[in-house]
Amino acid sequence: MPTYFYTAMNAENIRVTGKITVPNVENLKKVLIEKRQKLVSIYESPIKSVWQWSTVSDRNILLFTRYFASLIKAGISAFKSINILYKQEKNLRLKETLGVISHDVENGSALYEAFSRFPGMFDKVYIGLLRTGEESGRLYELLEKCSDLIETRIVVKRKIIAIVSYPAIILLLILILVFVIFMQIVPKFQTLYGQMGLTLDALPLITKVVIGVADFIRTYFFYELGFIVLFAGVFFQIYSTKAGKLRIDRLFVKIPIIKDIIIKYYIARFSRNLSILFESGFSIIIAFERSDEIVTNLAVKENLIRVKKNIERGNTVSEAFASVTMIPEISREMISIGEQTANFDKMLINIAEFYEKDLDYVTETFMNWIEPTIIIVLGFFVGTILLSIYLPVFSLASNMKMNI
C-alpha cells in the first residue's frame, strides 16, 4: 500500500501534518473525516515495498546540506534548491523526505517547520540554525555551520567505532578459536588417550579440567546458547527503559579509559554545538536545551541538565559548571576565562577542539593498551589448553623411552 504525507486543518482550525499508509486517497479522506480534519494537501511517498527500510546516514545528510548551502549561495531559492536536490537524490528515504519538505514549503510552511517533521534526520540544533538562517537572511552561513557540525560528528564517530569494533572483532575470533578447540580438537585427543590406554584418573589435573570444560560445553551447548540469548534480551530490555539505561550509563562512566572516552566525546560535541548556537544569537538556556539532545549517555546528560538548572537559578555559566564534578577541571577553567573575557563562544570552540585532539590521544592509548593485552591473554589461554592436551602424550612418550 502507498504511504501518504498530508496536511490538514483540525476542528480548531489549526494546521496539522501526518503520515499514513492506506490503499488510496479516498481511504485517507475517510480517516481524516473520522478525526474531524479537512484535507489541505497530500504527497505520495516514492518509496515502494522492498525499499521502505532504506536508511539515511550522517554522510547523506552532510552531502545534502553541503549541496543545499552551495545552491543558496548561488542565489537559488530554498524551495527550488530542495526540488533540484530531490530530483538527483539516490537515497530513497532521503528522497522521500525532501519530497515531503518541498510539498510542505510549497503549501506555506516555513522551511524549519518542514524540516522539523523529521527529527530522526535533523536534530534540534540543525532545525534551530535553519530557523535562524531563514529569519535573519544568513541561511547559507548557518547551513555551512550545520555541515561543519555533521562532518565533525562523522569523524569523531569513526574514532569511537574503531575503539569498539577492534577489540570486539578480536574477542569474537578468540571465542570462535576456543569453541573449535573445545568442540573439535579436545574430543579427538580424548579418543587418542583411550586408544593409548590412558584412563581419566591417570591424566594430569590440568588435562582433566580442560576435558571437563569441553564435555560441559558440548553437553549443555544449547542451554548455554539459550542463556546467552536470554541474557542479551534481558540486558537490552533493561537498557530500553530510562531507569535501566541510566544505571548502565553510570556504570560506563566509572570504567577507567572508557570513562575518559565517553566524557571527552560528549564534551567536544556539546561544546561545539553550544558555541554555534550561542554565536548565532540563541540565549544560553535555549542553546543548552537544543545541544543536550546530542548527549545520549544519561549519566553525562543529567550533569549537563544540572548545569542548565543552575544557570536558570541565576548562577553564572562558570559557577554552574563548577558545581558538576564530572566535567573536567580544565574545561571549567576555560569556560570561566571565556566568560570573563566575553569570548564565551570562541572558548567553547577551543574546548571542543582541545577534546577532539585529546580524544585522538586517548584512542591511540587505548588501542596500544588493548592490542598487546588481548594477544597476551589469547596466547596464555590457547597455550594452556594446548599444553594440557599434549602433556599426557609427552609423558607417555617419555615413559616409553625410559622403559626402553
Contact criterion met (CB below 8 Å) for 392 and 204: yes
How does the average pLDDT of the chain come out, rounded? 82
Residue ranges covered by each domain of the chain: 1-44, 156-404
Tell me the range of 17-21, 160-164, 214-218 where mean pLDDT is highest: 214-218
Q: Per DSSP, what are the bridge partners of residue 43?
A: 5
3-state secondary structure 256-311: CCHHHHHHHHHHHHHHHHHHHHHHCCCCHHHHHHHHHHHCCCHHHHHHHHHHHHHH
52 has a pLDDT exceeding 70: no
Instruction: Give the pLDDT mean for 194-203.
Output: 75
Instruction: Give the pLDDT mean for 122-150.
Output: 89
Work out the pLDDT band at 400, boundaries 50, 70, 90.
Answer: low
pLDDT tens digits, 368-382: 787 788 788 878 888
The number of residues making up the chain comes to 404
Contact criterion met (CB below 8 Å) for 51 and 92: yes
Work out the pLDDT band at 82, boundaries 50, 70, 90.
Answer: very high
Q: Which residue has the higher pLDDT, 319 or 85?
A: 85
Three-class secondary structure of residue 17 per DSSP: strand
CA proximity to 103, closest of 147, 20, 186, 41: 41
Work out the pLDDT band at 63, boundaries 50, 70, 90.
Answer: very high
C-alpha grid cell, residue 378? 589469547
State in Å, rounded, how far the first CA of the chain is from the last one: 84
Work out the pLDDT band at 46, boundaries 50, 70, 90.
Answer: low
DSSP secondary-structure letter at 185?
I
CA proximity to 274, closest of 292, 260, 261, 297: 292
Q: Which residue has the higher pLDDT, 130 or 191?
A: 130
**Integer Cα distance of 249 and 245 in angstroms:** 6
Three-class secondary structure of residue 189 per DSSP: helix
Q: Among residues of the chain, what percentage have pLDDT more than 90?
A: 9
50 has a pLDDT exceeding 60: no
Give residue 201's pLDDT.
Answer: 74
CATH number for the domain whose boundaries are 156-404: 1.20.81.30
**Integer Cα distance of 321 and 68 in angstroms:** 37
95 has a pLDDT exceeding 50: yes
**Integer Cα distance of 386 and 371 in angstroms:** 22
Helix, strand, coil abundance in the chain, percent, nearest 5: 75, 5, 20
Instruction: Give the pLDDT mean for 78-95.
Output: 89
Tell me the range of 176-180, 342-346, 391-395 where mean pLDDT is highest: 176-180
C-alpha grid cell, residue 295? 548527549
